[in-house]
Amino acid sequence: MRLFLVGAVLFLAASSIAKADDVGCVSTTFNLLSPNDKVCVSDFDDPKVPGVTCFISQARKGGWGQPLGLNEDPSNFSVACRQMGPITVDLSTLPEREEAFSEKTSIFFKATRIYRLPDQKHNTVVYLAVSSKIVNGSPENAISVVPIMPWPSK
């Protein structure tokens, strides 16, 4: 029973983190006999703030490790979040800091994470992208700010 409860909690925690869809990739190097290095753009809708979509670009290392998932991608990324519809969430109900998105960038313990930081004073939601690694994290980061504006009705 205890194992079931732990599994249920982990499932619910994982389901509140957004999943990204690939928009497309652009090759940045040419490798004659293996996959090229590239920059890929993905998008995700914030599950806790309906009406916000974030776009993240990430460098992905090519070579033969890429198709096998063995590469450690560089900590180069950018994030842009925009209001794409009406936002009705009350900022005071959101946690002070919460992970909205996470994507593994190596087979061992490295990920790009995007945190949601509500700013009630300015009526905005700040999204902070960081690279995390258990042993030696990276100072690489990017932010995007979404002001909550009235959404025009049709």
Q: What's the pLDDT tens digit per position in 34-66? A: 778 888 899 999 999 999 999 998 887 776 565
d(CA 133, CA 84): 32
The pTM of this model reads 0.75
The residue-averaged pLDDT of 78-101 equals 94
More confident residue, 126 or 60: 126
Cα-based distances in Å from 102 to 35, 66, 114, 126: 24, 19, 6, 16
pLDDT the model gives residue 103: 80
The residue-averaged pLDDT of 67-95 equals 82
Cα-based distances in Å from 78 to 67, 107, 112: 23, 21, 10
Residue type, 145: V
Query: Domain residue spans in the chain?
Result: 19-147
pLDDT the model gives residue 120: 96
Alpha helix ranges (H) inside 2-99 = 2-15, 65-68
**At 71, which helix (H) or strand (E)?**
none
pLDDT the model gives residue 154: 73
SS3 77: strand
Least confident segment among 11-20, 71-80, 117-126: 11-20
The residue-averaged pLDDT of 82-95 equals 95
| β 124-133/141-147 pair status | antiparallel
Residue type, 5: L
pLDDT the model gives residue 97: 96
CA dihedral 23, 101, 93, 87 (to 10 degrees): 0
pLDDT the model gives residue 67: 56
CB 127 within 8 A of CB 143: yes
Res 135 pLDDT > 70: no
pLDDT the model gives residue 118: 97
